[in-house]
């Protein structure tokens, strides 16, 4: 293969050749530059291939025909090859992207660009310290030249700030180098490392000077004002090069030079990395300018890369994958975003709404944002997972917490940005300029990112232990998104059915998993039927649905913690995207994703701690870990609590369910909530007797009481049912926190019951909303005459919900009573029953406000809910009836599964269930009530055969007052007295708390970012302060 | 011994000239002072047995840098737009 | 397929007939006594029979729709259902109805069955007054239920069972074995919540005086009203019987059953006559004060 | 480290020049004066580099009649830092030229040479 | 005022840290092993009496390549920034005094010759490419001082710069093909120690560097000078 030195000769040769051309014949100069970049790509590409896949060994290139200590040598190892390839590839695409801008600026611009790429390449390859200084200086001056490409006053100021800062850095570096030479009398890096600087007197100071200079070059948090101003004012193409080419170069230079400190500086670098990562992400929250936001994000990515470099000893063999994951994600995603921002006219985040109506660009934008945020299957997800696991296993819990806090801030501004683009209603008038030569690089970056995703998925396959067909199915749906909606709906339902039959066998033995498996897949398929009532393409709906269900089934079939966590995050992302499709769901979906990923990070911590204790990532080993360290169980439980919206973590739920589309809410509420329950079962089974569960019991009670009371005061139908879900989750949480078999049986019984009637209610209400186009109950009323089928299903739903005998609800109450008395939590039990009675209130409000009372005249010609809404409801009602009459179908297998739990179970003979406290025969209760009801109905019909039907406005006979203005709906604020009496219980303390935290973070982020006041001199001062503080800390021997 | 005394005198003068360069009112005087400073440095280089460096410092440090400074200053004076 | 279940139904119907008549007479006596306390003569004891027959014989009825029609049916089946699962006479195989298939919890929740039906039917009626009534009734019932639940739980702790027949069995053998004596706090809590359940004066804002009905039955008339009255006649005594079974040692024969339930039945009546009517937002917190505390003490001091 | 030798004096002068240079950069508001501060800063660094190459009583590293090839080792000062400082000086000029052209364009944009006027991109 | 005090304090701490660095420094008594190698073997391996030039051109030739690139980039950036004005506009200038004209006509050729001498004998006497180039640039300044409108064409300098740069790269690549490595000076015979055409390719490289530096610095000056008149 050609020696790497030709990278230099090609680049410089072309740069000097450009001198011959004039500005007019830009075709020649442009062609030359692209040809040179292509050649350089070929060289580094061939070396990378040979080093990684061939049997090539890293090679030293000598210059001037002498051995290293006497001359400068370049090294081409695996790292150098990969990073030079990245630089050259980004350089080539950057040149294509910036072609028209460079052409306008003339041949000088081409020269400066070529020298910029050259400087980066050699800085990565050189092994001589002074040579490194020279070529970093070349890169600096070339960057300064490129910053001014946009020829604006702002760019000139930013350029000067950049020059001032980098000149101070190079001065300090030069002093460091010359003193290093005077101590170890060599300038070759390997020579200096062997020379053992820290041991020589005064050597520590030299190491300080060199490393502080390199550290400042990577724009550490408090002293990087100059870096951010450059990102803000330079051309997006140049910003991209700074972030994806210069960034990796500096990171690798630090990695290369770090050994001169003999390992003393590893943790120092990691600490500065953490401060940068958390600080920049925190300040990025309040950014409105796109470029500056991307600047903050690039600085933060450089920070987390520093953490990985600083902790390379702890990371051991996984360091390569962590570094590669972080580097590749930032490389593809950040370049893509910068180049996309070049297309958009206007600087603020709001202007990105120009992307609406362009599915391909939107897909790319979403792909870049979510892979940066670390959602699966992006490489950053695997990198962060590996980082957390290794950190935990080395007891670095503090590091872990900070990294997660930093990534949470990152998540805040990335999802808010995505929300602003997808959610906002008004579309900015300007049109993005879609020149092909600007679109192609963005597209290539997208393809590159997908390629790396496939690679990382393949690499982590053994740890994931999930099969990849579902993930391929999601990708297929993304591609097939142009098909009409009903086709995609049938495909999804059939696929789910096929997957159910295919994989039912491997969850067969474990009843708990079987129940959830059936709920997720069978329930999901049924509730998807409602999708047929929608026409058109519904771009994006079905891939997100597929993502959610793949995540859900992944939870059940996962055997390793990584598989479980990947499915969890996939489900969170899928459901977030689904909810954000809602008309005004921008804010609520944002709150939803923040809470669910906040919970996911707690899970990650829990898995980390368990990995630290047991060393293997298996779900089964969580139990062992929990016994050794209960924190595992507690962390997992709190994480899952945020998913089932326990009181205090619940403010996302009503908004998310209400704003989601009407046919999406049934399976988001009815089915996805059970994911949290499945998790809770997992986490509570491992911390069974822990006193923490006592507090959990009380939390369950508060959630049940609070949820139900809040539900009673809602005027929005979907919000009412959403709050009732919180109430029922409180029930289940309360049952699960009791460590006796009967309680867990009650919990699982409730899971099945809740799935059935919640989906029925949401489907029915969805059907009604589909027709009436409004969610406010006081705008409906009197629909029983026009929509009898919906009325019946809601009636059955609320009877089951309130626990009234003939139906399955009573069975749950009965089990609950037995469990409470057996476990001895009497007071909590009583309060939970109080909330049960309160449930009766909102059940009645739901059915009476919508169906009973006086009909509005605008619904005179309203039709019954579409058939595709009614069909799934009645399928589920049949299921509910079977379940009500024969509860033992579910209870006996569950009892068998829970036999290992303490406490006595139920003795069955036929339909008769017997416990030490009481007995219950569902079959006979149903038949007795049915017969009695029929007899009495016959008795009434006998007596009132001649009853005369009366219309609503029949003034003579009916007491119904004629139609009055809309708002005076009888059922409006029906429980005002109840609110006056017990309203104090549900003063929205939690909502106030979460909004207070949000505004505090916003305010402090807004205040702190004033640290960068735009004055170049202040930035220089900040840098000198940073050097002095660092020195004092080291001198103080912290 | 003489070398030490000469270098000491040279040092004191250089420090004085650099302070003058930063704090004089007129910009032209400041630039001139900087030129003188680099001239002094090139003489000190001679004392430190580095003729090559002295020549470079004299030619580039004092002559060219000062010339560029004056050209830029002149250009700033003439821009009235 | 032996005929015993036919005989069973025969006895059940007999029991139902007795309780129905007993209920009607009881309401007659109550109206007479409360009139007398108010220095009025009051109606004849058999006045409820007259009302019932009058309502059943009306020729014209109007119905607002299916749910309005089903409301009374739900209500009556609620009353009869509670009766069916209530063991009347301890020890007699015939008069323990279908209590073997469901215990105290079943009865507790069956009370809701009737209430739900009533509320839905009234809702269908569309009369604004009926909605006010429903709102009052439901919100009041939530806290009424709370002390009773606490009492039931303390009973379950004491007797270690939820089945009514076992509880009655445990109280046999003289007055000292009654729950009244062994667990006075639970009995007090239950009796206070019994006040609310019966819907007499301090807590009768729901159905208010019959003359200008502002409660749920505003729109009900003729046959529908008759059905509701039959239910009231059955549900009242049955709830009294429930209290008797749980706290006053149940009854081994019809006579002691009638006497005990008659006395229990009169406890809310006397309280009602003396005390003025609560507004709903007053009655709700009232139940959270004394009865609730009694209930908690009952649980912890058992 | 005796501060009384030529090397000692020049090193101290070098470091003092660096401090004066930094003082100029951090306190002067006029752009031209800041760049002058930079030239002083670079001057100081170059001085230190050359001072480190000097040894008492040594001459220029050029072999001629006086300094023959054999006894050059004990007569000659260290040539390597002198080679490095050549590059450093020329880098200094390059950087100064770029900074001055930036100042030119900034002046054309805002007609002022005060650095605290150019705070357009901030926060 | 407080800001100045704070900066003073800051620089005091920095000064103190430099002082500690200085204290640990011991003046060497003899050359360190690396420079000892250069001084002893330099003349034989490279054949250049001026050891500094030997190091600058061959031993650490890659640095010098970087060095030349820096100047090249600075010249390009200055050109990029000041390109916006069109060049060939006639403008009125006050005429310079006669004495200056006479001196200029006398001194100009001498200075050019002196510059060429410096970078031709870079390997023998102190001096070299950079110094020679600088002297040529000062000659240019002298010309421009006397006659700002003098018809010195930019094209000429750009061509000279590109030719010398490109040939420098060619010599480097030749080093790889013919001799030991990039920029090795053994592609030409070392010749007799001490006379003009010796030390392999060093004089050739250094003269190209001299020409390149000279043309770059002059093009910077030309760019700055051409915009003498205020531009609209």
Q: How far is A106 from chain E (nearest CA, A)?
A: 8
Mean pLDDT of A154-162: 91
Test mutation, D2, D14, D20, D61, chain B, max B CBs within 10 A: D20
Average pLDDT of span E98-118: 89
What does the domain layout of chain A look like in residue ranges?
A: 1-127, 465-934
Tokens of A491: 């495909």
Q: Which residues of A touch D54 (CB under 8 A)?
A: none
Residues of D whose CB is below 8 A from E28: 55, 78
Q: Is residue A807 within 8 Å of A795, Cβ to Cβ? A: no
Q: State how far the Cα of D3 lies from the Cα of D32, in Å rounded to an integer.
A: 34
Task: Tell me which residue in C70, C124, C142 faces A838 most closely, judged by beta carbons.
Answer: C142
- E15, part of any domain: no
E60, E141, E142: best mutation site toward chain B, by most B Cβ within 10 Å? E141
Of the partner residues D49, D120, D123, the one whose CB lies closest to the CB of residue A153: D120
Count other C-beta atoms under 10 Å from residue A942's C-beta.
9
What is the C-alpha to C-alpha distance for residues A588 and E108, in angstroms, rounded to an integer? 78
> Are the Cβ atoms of E69 and A115 closer than 8 angstroms?
yes
Please compute the mean of the pLDDT values over residues A600-611 and round it to a whole number.
Answer: 91
Enumerate the residues of chain D whose CB falls inside 8 A of the CB of residue B17. none
Tell me, yes or no, if E137 comes closer than 8 A to chain B by beta carbon. Answer: yes
DSSP A204-247: HHHHHHHHHHHHHHT--GGG-HHHHHHHHHS-HHHHHHIIIIIH
Q: A and B: touch, per 3+ CB pairs < 8 A? A: no
Query: How confident is the model over A263-273, as a mean pLDDT?
Result: 91
pLDDT higher for A698 or A509?
A698
pLDDT the model gives residue A89: 95
Q: Which of D7, D64, D90 sits opposite E27 (nearest CB)?
A: D7
Q: Tell the residue number behind the tokens 């059935």, with chain if given.
A: A756
Q: Could you give the CA distance from residue A97 to residue A341 in angstroms, rounded to a whole number?
A: 12
ipTM of the complex: 0.85
Quote the distance between the C-alpha of residue C266 and its chain's center. Answer: 13
Distance, in Å, from the CA atom of A177 to the CA atom of A183, rounded to the nearest integer, reads: 10
Pairing of strands A59-62, A907-909: unpaired
- Nearest CB among E31, E75, E128 relative to D78 is that of E31
The DSSP letter of residue E195 is S
- 3-state secondary structure string across chain B: CHHHHHHHHHHHHHHHHHHHHHHCCCHHHHHHHHHHHHHHHHHHHHHCCCHHHHHHHHHHHHHHHHHHHHHHHHHHHHCCC
Question: CA E206 to CA A439: how far, in whole Å?
Answer: 46
pLDDT score of A405 more than 90: yes
Extended beta strands in A666-763, E state:
none
Tokens of A912: 């008769």
What's C204-242 look like in SS3?
A: CCCCCCCCCCCCHHHHCCHHHHHHHHHHHHHHHHHHHHH
Tell which residue, A132, A222, E17, A154, has the closest CA to residue D22.
E17
| CA A208 to chain centroid | 39
Contact C67 A791 (CB under 8 A): yes
pLDDT of residue C247: 87
As a whole number of angstroms, the distance between CA A848 and CA D4 comes to 101
For A153, which of D26, D29, D106 is closest by C-beta distance? D106
- Among B51-65, C259-273, D11-25, which stretch is predicted with the lowest mean pLDDT? C259-273
SS3 at position A901: coil
Residue E71: which domain range?
Answer: 46-83+98-231
Place of tokens 């005998």: A805
**Bigger pLDDT: A966 vs D54:** D54
- Is there a contact between A159 and D91 if contact means CB atoms under 8 Å apart? no
Task: Give all chains having 3 or more CB-to-CB distances under 8 Å with chain E.
Answer: A, B, D
Cross-chain Cβ contact D122/A1012 below 8 Å: yes
CA–centroid distance for A222 within its chain: 28
Domain range annotation of chain B: 2-78
Pair type for strands A73-76 and A912-914: unpaired
Q: How far is CA A308 from the centre of its chain?
A: 22
Rounded Cα distance, A1003 and A48, in Å: 48
Within 13 Å and on the Cβ side, how many CA atoms surround A148? Answer: 35
Q: Helices (H), strands (E): how many in chain D?
A: 4, 0
Q: Residue A888: pLDDT above 70?
A: yes
Lowest mean pLDDT among A262-266, A717-721, D45-49, D63-67: D63-67
**Interchain proximity A958–C223, CB inside 8 Å:** no
Residues C100, C253 contacting (CB under 8 angstroms) = no
Nearest residue to A43 (alpha-carbon basis) of A94, A84, A93, A91: A84
H or E stretch covering A909: strand A907-909
Position of tokens 């006596």? C29
Q: Is B48 on the interface with E (CB under 8 A)?
A: no
Q: Tell whether A854 lies on the interface with C, counting CB pairs under 8 A.
A: yes
pLDDT tens digits, E36-58:
888 888 888 888 888 899 889 88
Alpha carbon B67 to its chain centroid, in Å, reads 12
**Which region, left, alpha or beta, applies to residue B32 given φ > 0 means left and ψ of -120 to 50 means alpha?**
alpha
pLDDT at residue B61 is higher than 80? yes
C-alpha E206/C-alpha A700 separation (Å) is 84
Query: Exposure pattern of A80-95 as b/e (b: 16+ CB <10 Å)?
Result: bbbbbbbbbbbbbbbb
CA angle A946, A948, A953 (to 5 degrees): 170
A26-61 residue pLDDT tens: 888 899 999 999 999 999 999 999 999 888 889 988
3-state secondary structure (DSSP) of residue E53: helix
CB contact under 8 A, D121 and A182: no
pLDDT of residue E230: 40
Nearest CA in chain E to A68: E59
Alpha-carbon radius of gyration of chain B: 15
Classify each residue of A156-182 as buried b or exposed e, where b means 16 or more C-beta atoms within 10 Å of its C-beta: bbbbbbbbbbbbbbbbbbbbbbbbbbb
Considering CB atoms only, which of A158, A1009, A1021 is closest to D26?
A: A1021
Q: Are A614 and A392 in contact, with CB atoms under 8 Å apart?
A: no
Name chain D contacts of B49, Cβ cutoff 8 Å.
54, 58-61, 77
Q: Say yes or no: B28 contacts chain E, CB-CB below 8 A.
A: no
Can you tell me the mean pLDDT for A700-723? 90
Optimal mutation site among D46, D48, D83, interface E, most CBs of chain E within 10 A? D83
Of the partner residues E35, E59, E74, the one whose CB lies closest to the CB of residue D78: E35
In A, which residues are within 8 Å of C134 by CB distance?
A: 844, 848, 974
Tokens read off for A809: 């609800």
Q: What is the pLDDT of residue B18?
A: 94
What pLDDT score does C144 carry?
86
Q: Which residues of E touch B53 (CB under 8 A)?
A: 52
The nearest CA of chain B is from the CA of D120 a distance in Å of: 21
CA distance D89 to chain B (A): 7
Subunit contact B22:D36, Cβ cutoff 8 A: yes
Q: For A526-530, A902-906, B12-16, C78-82, which range has the lowest pLDDT when averaged over its residues?
A: A902-906
E181/A1028 CB distance under 8 A:
no
Query: A interface mutation test: which of E62, E71, E81, E161 has the most A CBs within 10 A?
Result: E62
Domain ranges of chain C: 4-301
Q: Is the pLDDT of residue A960 over 70?
A: no
* Beta-carbon separation of E127 and B79 below 8 A: no
Low-confidence ranges of chain C (pLDDT < 70): 1-2, 99, 101-102, 208-215
Q: Give the pLDDT of residue A1037.
A: 61
Residues of chain A with Cβ-Cβ distance to C285 below 8 Å are 981-982
Tell me the pLDDT of chain A averaged across its residues.
88
User: What's the pLDDT score for residue D115?
Assistant: 86
Q: Token pair 């998104």 is at which residue?
A: A481
Query: What separation, in Å, do the N-terminal and C-terminal C-alpha atoms of chain B show?
Result: 58
Interface residue E135 vs chain B (CB under 8 A): yes
Interface test with E, best of B4, B71, B73 (most E CBs within 10 A): B71
Distance from CA of B20 to the nearest CA of D (A): 11
Which of A247-261, A740-754, A889-903, B49-63 comes out lowest in average pLDDT? A889-903
Task: Write out the DSSP string of C66-126.
Answer: HHHHHHHHHHHHHHHHHHHTS--STT-SGGGTTGGGB-HHHHHHHHHHHHHHHHHHHHHH-
- What are A435's two structure tokens? 């020149």
Q: C76, C60 in Cβ contact below 8 A?
A: no
CB distance A592 to A656 below 8 Å: yes
Question: What pLDDT score was predicted for residue D26?
Answer: 93
User: Is the distance from CB of D1 to CB of E22 less than 8 angstroms?
Assistant: yes
Using a CB–CB cutoff of 8 Å, tell me whether A925 touches chain C: yes
Q: What is the DSSP letter of E125?
A: S
Question: HSE on the CB side for C162, CA within 13 Å?
Answer: 28
Q: Is B50 at the interface with chain D, CB within 8 A?
A: yes
What burial class does residue A516 get, using C-beta atoms within 10 Å of its C-beta: 0-12 exposed, 13-18 middle, 19+ buried?
Answer: buried
Q: Closest chain D residue to A137 measured between Cα atoms?
A: D91
Chain E nearest C-alpha distance from B34 (Å) = 18
pTM of the prediction?
0.89
pLDDT tens by residue, D69-123: 888 888 888 899 999 999 999 999 999 999 999 998 888 888 888 888 888 877 7
Residues of D in contact with E38 (CB under 8 A): 79-80
Residue of chain B minimizing CA distance to E229: B78
E–B touching, 3+ CB–CB pairs within 8 Å: yes
A404, two tokens: 């997660």
What confidence score (pLDDT) does residue E84 get? Answer: 57
pLDDT of residue E228: 44
Q: Are E189 and E96 in contact (CB under 8 A)?
A: no
- pLDDT, mean of residues A493-504: 89
Where on the phi/psi map is residue A540: left (φ > 0), alpha (ψ -120 to 50), or beta? left
């Amino acid at each position: 293969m050609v020696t790497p030195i030709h990278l230099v000769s090609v680049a410089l040769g072309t740069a000097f050749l450009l001198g011959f051309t004039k500005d007019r014949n830009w075709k020649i100069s442009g062609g030359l530059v692209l040809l040179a970049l292509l050649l350089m790509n070929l060289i580094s590409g061939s070396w990378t291939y040979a080093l990684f896949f061939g049997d090539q060994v890293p090679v030293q290139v000598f210059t001037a025909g002498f051995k290293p200590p006497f001359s400068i040598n370049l090294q081409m190892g695996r790292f150098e090859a990969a990073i030079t390839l990245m630089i050259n590839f980004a350089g080539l695409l950057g040149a294509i992207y910036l072609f028209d801008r460079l052409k306008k600026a003339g041949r000088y611009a081409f020269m400066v660009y070529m020298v910029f790429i050259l400087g980066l390449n050699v800085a990565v390859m050189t092994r001589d310290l002074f040579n490194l200084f020279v070529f970093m200086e070349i890169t600096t001056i070339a960057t300064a030249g490129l910053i001014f490409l946009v020829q604006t006053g702002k760019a000139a100021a930013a350029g000067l700030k950049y020059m001032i800062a980098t000149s101070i850095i190079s001065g300090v570096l030069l002093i460091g180098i010359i003193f290093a030479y005077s101590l170890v009398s060599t300038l070759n890096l390997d020579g200096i490392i062997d020379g053992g600087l820290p041991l020589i007197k005064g050597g520590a100071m030299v190491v300080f000077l060199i490393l502080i200079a390199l550290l400042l070059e990577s724009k550490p948090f408090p002293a990087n004002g100059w870096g951010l101003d450059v990102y803000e004012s330079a051309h997006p193409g140049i910003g991209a090069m700074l972030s994806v080419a210069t960034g990796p170069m500096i990171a690798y230079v630090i990695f290369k030079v770090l050994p001169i400190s003999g390992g003393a500086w590893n943790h120092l670098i990691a600490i500065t990395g953490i401060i940068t990562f958390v600080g920049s992400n925190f300040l990025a929250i309040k950014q409105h300018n796109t470029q500056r936001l991307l600047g903050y994000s690039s600085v933060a990515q450089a920070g987390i890369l520093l953490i990985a470099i600083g902790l390379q000893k702890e990371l051991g063999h996984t360091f390569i994958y962590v570094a590669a994951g972080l580097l590749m994600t930032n490389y593809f995603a950040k370049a893509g975003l910068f180049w996309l921002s070049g297309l958009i006219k206007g600087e603020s985040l709001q202007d990105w709404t120009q992307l609406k109506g362009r599915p391909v660009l939107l897909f790319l934008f979403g792909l870049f944002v979510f892979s940066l945020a670390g959602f699966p299957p992006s490489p950053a997800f695997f990198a962060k997972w590996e980082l957390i696991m290794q950190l935990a296993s080395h007891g670095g819990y503090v590091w872990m917490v900070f990294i997660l806090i930093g990534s949470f801030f990152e998540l805040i501004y990335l999802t808010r940005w995505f929300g602003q683009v997808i959610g906002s209603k008004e579309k900015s008038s300007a049109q993005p300029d879609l020149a092909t030569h600007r679109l192609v690089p963005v597209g290539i970056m997208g393809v590159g990112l997908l390629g790396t995703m496939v690679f990382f998925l393949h690499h982590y396959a053994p740890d994931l232990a999930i099969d990849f067909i579902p993930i391929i199915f999601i990708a297929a749906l993304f591609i097939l998104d142009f098909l009409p909606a009903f086709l995609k709906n049938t495909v999804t339902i059939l696929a789910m059915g096929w997957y159910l039959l295919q994989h039912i066998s491997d969850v067969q033995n474990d009843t708990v998993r079987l129940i959830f498996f059936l709920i997720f897949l069978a329930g999901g398929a049924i509730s998807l039927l409602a999708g047929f009532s929608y026409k058109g393409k519904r771009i994006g709906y079905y891939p997100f649905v597929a993502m959610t269900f793949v995540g859900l089934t992944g939870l059940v079939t996962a055997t390793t913690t990584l598989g479980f966590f990947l499915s969890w995050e996939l489900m969170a992302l899928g459901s977030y995207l689904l909810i954000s499709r809602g008309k005004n769901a921008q804010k609520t979906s944002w709150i939803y994703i923040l809470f669910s990923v906040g919970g996911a990070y707690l899970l990650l911590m829990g898995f980390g701690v368990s990995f630290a204790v047991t060393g293997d990532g298996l779900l089964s080993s969580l139990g062992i870990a929990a016994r050794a360290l209960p924190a595992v169980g507690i962390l997992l439980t709190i994480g899952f609590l945020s998913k089932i919206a326990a009181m205090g973590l619940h403010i996302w739920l009503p908004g998310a369910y209400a704003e989601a589309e009407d046919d999406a809410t049934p399976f988001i509420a009815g089915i996805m909530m059970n994911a949290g329950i499945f998790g809770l079962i997992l986490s509570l089974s491992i911390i069974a007797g822990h006193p923490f569960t006592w507090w959990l019991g009380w939390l369950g009670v508060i959630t049940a009481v609070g949820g139900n009371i809040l539900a009673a005061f809602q005027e929005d139908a979907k919000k009412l049912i959403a709050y009732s879900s919180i109430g029922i989750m409180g029930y289940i949480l309360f049952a699960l926190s009791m460590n006796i078999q009967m309680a867990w049986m009650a919990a699982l019984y409730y899971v099945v019951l809740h799935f059935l009637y919640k989906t029925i209610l949401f489907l029915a209400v969805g059907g009604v909303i589909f027709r009436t186009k409004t969610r406010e109950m006081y705008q409906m009323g009197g629909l029983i005459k026009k929509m009898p089928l919906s009325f019946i299903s809601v009636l059955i739903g609320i009877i089951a919900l309130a626990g009234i005998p003939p139906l399955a609800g009573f069975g749950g109450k009965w089990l609950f009573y037995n469990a409470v008395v057996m476990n001895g939590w009497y007071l909590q039990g009583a309060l939970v029953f109080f909330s049960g009675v309160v449930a009766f209130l909102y059940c009645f409000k739901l059915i009476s406000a919508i169906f009973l009372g006086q009909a509005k005249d605008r619904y005179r010609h309203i039709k019954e809910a579409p058939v595709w809404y009614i069909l799934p409801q009645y399928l589920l009602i049949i299921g509910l009836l079977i379940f009500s009459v024969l509860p033992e179908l579910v209870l006996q297998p569950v009892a068998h599964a829970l036999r290992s739990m303490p406490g006595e179970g139920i003795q069955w003979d036929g339909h008769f269930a017997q416990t030490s406290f009481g007995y219950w025969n569902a079959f006979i209760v149903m038949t007795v009530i049915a017969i009695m009801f029929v007899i009495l109905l016959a008795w009434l019909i006998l007596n009132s055969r001649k009853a005369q039907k009366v219309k609503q406005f029949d003034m003579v006979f009916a007491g119904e007052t004629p139609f009055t203005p809309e708002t005076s709906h009888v059922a409006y604020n029906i429980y005002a007295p109840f609110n006056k009496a017990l309203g104090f219980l549900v003063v929205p303390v939690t909502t106030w708390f979460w909004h207070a935290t949000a505004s505090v973070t916003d305010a402090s982020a807004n205040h702190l970012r004033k640290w960068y006041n735009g004055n170049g001199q202040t930035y220089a001062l900040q840098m000198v302060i940073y050097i002095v503080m660092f020195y004092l800390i080291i001198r103080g021997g912290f | 011994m003489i070398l030490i005394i000469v270098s000491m005198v040279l040092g004191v003068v250089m420090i004085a000239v650099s302070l003058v360069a930063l704090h004089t009112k007129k910009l032209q005087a400041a630039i001139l002072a900087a030129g003188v400073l680099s001239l002094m440095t090139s003489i000190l280089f001679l004392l430190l047995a580095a003729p090559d460096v002295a020549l470079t410092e004299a030619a580039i440090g004092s002559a060219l840098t000062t010339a560029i400074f004056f050209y830029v200053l002149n250009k700033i004076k003439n821009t009235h737009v | 397929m032996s005929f015993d279940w036919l005989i069973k139904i025969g006895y059940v119907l007999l029991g139902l007939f007795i309780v129905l008549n007993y209920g009607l007479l009881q309401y007659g006596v109550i109206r007479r006594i409360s009139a007398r306390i108010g220095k009025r003569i009051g109606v004849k004891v058999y006045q409820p029979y007259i009302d019932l027959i009058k309502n059943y014989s009306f020729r014209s009825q109007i119905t607002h729709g299916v749910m309005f029609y089903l409301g009374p049916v739900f209500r009556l089946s609620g009353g009869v259902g509670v009766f069916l699962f209530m063991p009347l006479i301890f020890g007699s195989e015939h008069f323990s109805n279908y209590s073997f298939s469901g215990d105290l919890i079943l009865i507790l929740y069956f009370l809701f069955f009737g209430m739900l039906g009533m509320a839905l039917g009234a809702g269908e009626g569309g009369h604004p007054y009926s909605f006010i009534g429903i709102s009052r009734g439901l919100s009041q019932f939530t806290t009424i239920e709370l002390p009773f639940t606490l009492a039931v739980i303390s009973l379950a702790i004491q007797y270690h069972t939820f089945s009514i027949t076992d509880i009655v069995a445990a109280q046999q053998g003289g007055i000292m074995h009654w729950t009244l004596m062994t667990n006075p706090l639970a009995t007090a809590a239950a009796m206070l919540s019994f006040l609310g359940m019966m819907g007499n004066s301090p807590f009768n804002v729901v159905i208010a005086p019959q003359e200008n009905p502002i409660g749920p039955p505003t729109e009900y008339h003729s046959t529908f009203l008759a059905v509701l009255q039959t239910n009231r006649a059955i549900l009242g005594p049955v709830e009294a019987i429930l209290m008797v079974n749980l706290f006053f040692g149940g009854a081994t024969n019809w006579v002691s059953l009638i006497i005990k339930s008659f006395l229990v039945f009169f406890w809310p009546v006397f309280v009602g006559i003396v005390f003025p009517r609560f507004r709903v937002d007053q009655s709700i917190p009232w139940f959270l004060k004394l009865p609730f505390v009694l209930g908690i003490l009952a649980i912890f001091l058992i | 480290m005796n501060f009384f030798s030529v090397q000692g004096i020049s090193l101290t002068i070098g470091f003092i020049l660096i401090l004066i240079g930094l003082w100029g950069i951090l306190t002067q508001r006029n752009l031209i004066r800041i760049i002058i501060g930079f030239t002083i800063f670079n001057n100081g660094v170059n001085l230190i580099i050359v001072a480190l190459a000097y040894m008492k009583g040594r001459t220029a590293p050029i072999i001629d009649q006086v300094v023959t090839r054999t006894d050059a080792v004990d007569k000659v000062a260290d040539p390597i830092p002198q080679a490095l400082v050549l590059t450093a000086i020329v880098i200094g000029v390059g950087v100064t030229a770029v900074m001055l052209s930036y100042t030119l364009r900034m002046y054309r944009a805002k007609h002022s040479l005060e650095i605290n006027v150019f705070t357009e991109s901030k926060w | 005022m407080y800001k100045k005090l704070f900066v003073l304090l800051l620089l005091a701490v920095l000064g103190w840290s430099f002082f500690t660095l200085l204290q640990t420094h011991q003046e060497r008594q003899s050359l360190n092993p690396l420079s000892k190698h250069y001084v002893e073997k330099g003349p034989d391996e490279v054949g250049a009496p001026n050891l500094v030039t030997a190091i600058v051109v061959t031993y650490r030739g890659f640095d010098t390549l970087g060095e030349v690139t820096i100047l090249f980039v600075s010249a390009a950036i200055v050109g990029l920034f000041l390109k916006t004005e069109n060049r060939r506009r006639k403008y009125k200038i006050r005429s310079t005094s006669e004495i200056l004209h006479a001196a200029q006509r006398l001194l100009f050729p001498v200075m050019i010759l002196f510059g060429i001498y410096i970078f031709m004998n870079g390997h023998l006497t102190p001096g070299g490419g950079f110094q020679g180039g600088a002297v040529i640039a000062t000659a240019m300044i002298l010309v421009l001082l006397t006659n700002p409108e003098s018809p010195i064409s930019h094209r000429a300098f750009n061509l000279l710069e590109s030719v010398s740069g490109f040939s420098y790269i060619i010599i480097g690549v030749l080093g790889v093909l013919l001799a030991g490595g990039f920029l090795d000076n053994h592609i030409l015979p070392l010749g007799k120690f001490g006379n003009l055409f010796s030390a392999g390719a060093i004089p050739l490289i250094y003269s190209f560097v001299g020409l390149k530096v000279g043309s770059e610095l002059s093009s910077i000056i030309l760019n700055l000078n051409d915009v003498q008149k205020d531009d609209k």
